[in-house]
Amino acid sequence: MSTVFGLIIEGKVPCTKVFENERILAIEDIHPVAPVHILIMPKKAIANLQSIQPKDLPLIAEIAQIAQQIAEEKGIEEGYRLLTNNGPDAGQTVFHLHFHLIGGRVLGHLG
Ligand code: AMP
């Protein structure tokens, strides 16, 4: 079953795009928790980090590289967080792998 991010990738739900190539999409989070809150995701339907197969690992490296680029473009390269919530107990609500790029304010320690 398609998730909201699957529908966004298919162009069936609107979003504010920050970056796109054949493999990766980055969009503004609809409920930002910081001045910069961007979601970076593979276009391939992968539920979460725990579902990643070895052949998909290059996507993770590419996401890290794109996070670096976006952080520089947004001027937050001195301090940002890149995180993924894996599974319901970690607060994952959309079961299409995505990484939150969060910054633009002082971020507290993880609780
Ligand atoms: P998670 O809880 O880690 O699965 O993160 C899901 C994120 O997706 C949340 O931060 C939501 O605010 C965000 N979100 C949900 N629907 C949309 C949407 N249509 N466009 C952009 N962000 C969304």
Question: What is the mean pLDDT, run by run of 10 residues, along the chain of 111 residues?
Answer: 94 98 98 98 98 97 98 97 97 98 92 61
Task: Provide the domain limits for residue 66.
Answer: 4-94
Please name the residue ranges forming H helices in 15-102: 57-74
Q: Is 105 inside any structural domain?
A: no
Q: What ligand 1 atom has the least distance to the C-alpha of 92?
A: 4
pLDDT at site 7:
98
What is the amino acid identity at position 106? V
Q: Is 109 inside any structural domain?
A: no
Spatial separation of the C-alpha atoms in residues 110 and 58, rounded to whole Å: 27
* 48 ligand 1 Cβ < 6 A: no
* 4 ligand 1 Cβ < 6 A: yes
Residue whose Cα lies nearest atom 17 of ligand 1: it is 30
Residues with a known catalytic role: 98
CATH number for position 74:
3.30.428.10
Residue whose Cα lies nearest atom 3 of ligand 1: it is 92
Q: Is 104 inside any structural domain?
A: no
Q: Tell me the C-alpha to C-alpha distance, in Å, between residue 3 and each of 34, 46, 49, 73, 108.
A: 24, 11, 16, 29, 30
Q: Is 56 inside any structural domain?
A: yes
pLDDT at site 30:
98
Question: How crowded is the C-beta side of 104, counted as CA atoms within 13 Å?
Answer: 13
pLDDT at site 110:
80
How many CB atoms within 10 Å of residue 102?
21
Give 29 Cα–ligand 1 centroid separation in angstroms.
6
- The number of distinct structural domains making up the chain is 1
How many CB atoms within 10 Å of residue 104?
15
pLDDT at site 111:
61
Spatial separation of the C-alpha atoms in residues 79 and 57, rounded to whole Å: 25
Q: Is 75 inside any structural domain?
A: yes
Q: Is 55 inside any structural domain?
A: yes
